[in-house]
Amino acid sequence: MTAAAIVVAAGRGERFGAAGNKLLLPLAGRPVLLWTLLRLRACPRLTEFVIVAAERDREAVVTLAEQALPDRPWRMAAGGATRSQSVRSGLAALPAEVEWVAIHDGARPLISPALVERLLDAAQVAGAAYRLGARCLEVVREDGRVRAAVEGPDGPEEVVARAAVLAGGVRFRVLDRAGAVRPRRLLQTAQTELPMAGVDEVEVYLGREVAGGSFAWAIPTVGKRVKLGVCAEERAAVLLERLLAGPRIAPRRLDGVARIRSKPVPVRPARRTAYERVVVVGDAAGQVKPTTAGGIYYGILCAELAARTLDDGLRRGDLSARRLAGYERSWRAELGRELRVGSAFRRIGERLDDKRLDRLVRALALLPADVHALVAGGGEERGALEALAASLGVADRFHLLGPREDVGAVLAALDVFVVCSDREGLSNAMLEALAAGVPVVSTAVSGAAEALAPDAGGLAPGVVVGFDPAELAAAVGALLADPARRLAMGRAAARRARERFDFERMLDAWEAVLAG
C-alpha cells in the first residue's frame, strides 16, 4: 500500500490574531508545523509528503521540511484561496503511483500516528473518497438506493450509494427532497469578528431590544479580536448592526470593517431523524444546545451513534427505517434530558425583557442574607424570575408584589431604589423614587447620569453603575451599610425632584422649547 500525506499549511492566521502564518509560531520550543510533520513522519506507511503553503512562507517551510523529513521524499504545492483549493493543489502535486492519501491540517500537531495507521487500514478495507469543493444539491431515496446530486469544481455529477447521512446543516431543499422533516424551531444568527478593547471574558447581552427575546454575545479569541454575534427570532443581522453602533460596543471598537455572516440555527430537534437508508445528524437534525445553539459536542456524539447504526445495518443488509430507528433511540437516550432542560432555560430567558430584573436577582444573590428586594408590577416574566431566584438561593428574599395601587407606600418601605434596565428613556419610576426621597442606584441608562448628577455642594441623589450585577450589588451594599449617607442622599433626591422635575417646572420648560 503506497500512501502519501498532504499537509495543508497555507493559512494566514487571521482568526488566531497572528501577524503571519500561525503554523510558524513556536509551540513548546518548536514551530507548530515542525511538530505536525514529525508526528506524521512517525507513520511508516506515509512514504511521500506534499506540503501546501503560501509563496511568502516558502523559505521557512522548506527549512522545517528538511529538518523533519530527512529520509522521506517531499515537495511543495502552492496554497489556494480556500482550503479546498489548497487540497486540490496538493492532490495535483502527488506522484501518479500514489494509491492512498492522508490529508491533514498542519495546525493540528497532536495527531496520533496510531490513528493515522488505523484510518489507512479502514480506508483500504472499506474504501473512501472525498468530493472536495463540492456542494450537495439534493438527496433522493429511490429504487433501493440513495442518489445525491452534487455540484463540484468540474461541474455537476451524480453519486449513488446504499445509504446517506445528512449532516450539511439546515438546508431545506436537501432535507425536503430526502423526505426528512425539518428541525421544529429555527432562529437566525448573525456574527462578525473584529478587534475590540476591554473584552477580557465572554459577555452575554439579553433583552428584546438587543436580541428579540434571545441573546447576543462577545467572545474574545486571540489578541484583541472578538467574535460578536446575535441570535434572534428574526432580523438578526439588523440587530447586530444596531449592537455594533450602540453604547455597549461602539466605544470599544478599534478598527476594521464588520463583515456580517448570517445563517439559520435550530434550537429544537426534528421530530424524526431516521428513515429508510437515511439518517440526519447535527444541525440538520436540530441536535444543538437550546441555550447557546452550539452543536460541536452533540454533533460528534450523534455522528458516532449514526455510524454504529449504519454499520450494523450494512452488515445485516437491512437499511430499513425500522433498523435505522436504533440511531434515533440511542441519541435521544443520550441527549433527551439535557435538551429538555436546555429548552426550559431558553423559555425562561425569552421572557426576560429590557428591564432586566434578572440582573436585580443576580445582584441580590451577592448581598448579605438580610437584604430583600421588592418588585411591584405584573408581567409575563414572573415565572422566569421566580425560577432564577430559586436557582440562586434567594427565593425567600426576592418578593414580587404584583400590581399595586399604593405605590407611595411601597416607595416609603424602601432604603434604596434600583433601576437595573438595559435601556430606558428618562425613567418615570426613578423620578417617583426621587420625589419620595429614596436614593437611587441605576445602571447607565439614558437620563440616569443627568437625573443623578451631584448638586452644587457635591451631593448626588443616586449612583450610576455599569451593567454588571456585581457593580449593582456593590453600590447597593455600600448605601445600605452607611445610613447617614443614605439619609443625606434621600434629602438630595427629594430636592432634585422639586427643583428639576416638578410638574410645573417641566411644563414651563416645554413651553419655552415650543415657543422657540
Query: Residue 262 is part of which domain span?
Result: 185-266
Q: Is residue 47 located within the same domain as residue 174?
A: no
Q: Is residue 403 located within the same domain as residue 484?
A: yes
Q: Do 439 and 506 form a contact (C-beta atoms < 8 A)?
A: no
- Domain with 379 in it: what CATH number? 3.40.50.2000
The answer to whether residue 516 is domain-embedded is no
Task: Give me the percent of the chain exceeding a pLDDT of 70.
Answer: 90
Using the predicted structure, report yes or no on whether residue 352 has a pLDDT greater than 60: no
Determine the Cα–Cα distance for residues 288 and 282; give it in Å rounded to an integer: 7
Q: Is residue 165 located within the same domain as residue 239?
A: no
Q: What is the pLDDT of residue 285?
A: 93
| Average predicted confidence (pLDDT) for the chain | 87
Using the predicted structure, report yes or no on whether residue 15 has a pLDDT greater than 60: no
Determine the Cα–Cα distance for residues 218 and 220; give it in Å rounded to an integer: 7
Using the predicted structure, report yes or no on whether residue 288 has a pLDDT greater than 80: yes
Determine the Cα–Cα distance for residues 303 and 327; give it in Å rounded to an integer: 10
The answer to whether the predicted template modeling score (pTM) of the entire model surpasses 0.85 is: no
Q: Do 147 and 160 form a contact (C-beta atoms < 8 A)?
A: yes
Q: Is residue 149 located within the same domain as residue 189?
A: no
Q: Is residue 147 located within the same domain as residue 203?
A: no
Write down the residue that cell numbers 444573590 correspond to: 365
Q: Is residue 251 located within the same domain as residue 282?
A: no
Determine the Cα–Cα distance for residues 298 and 282; give it in Å rounded to an integer: 7
Q: Is residue 18 located within the same domain as residue 40?
A: yes
- 296-341 residue pLDDT tens: 889 899 999 999 999 999 999 999 999 999 999 999 999 988 888 7
**Residue where a domain stops, chosen among 349, 372, 404:** 349
Residues 6+ apart with CB under 8 A from 475: 441, 463, 465
Residues 6+ apart with CB under 8 A from 371: 364, 397, 476, 477, 480
Q: What is the pLDDT of residue 513?
A: 67
Count of domains for the chain? 4
Residue scoring higher pLDDT (380 or 278): 278
The answer to whether residue 70 is domain-embedded is yes
Q: Is residue 456 located within the same domain as residue 487?
A: yes
* Average pLDDT estimate for 464-484: 93
pLDDT bin (cut points 50, 70, 90) of residue 222 is confident
Q: Which of 157, 154, 158, 229 is nearest to 191 (CA)?
A: 229
Instruction: Find the range with the poorest average confidence among 62-76, 96-110, 211-225, 276-290.
Output: 211-225
Using the predicted structure, report yes or no on whether residue 1 has a pLDDT greater than 70: no
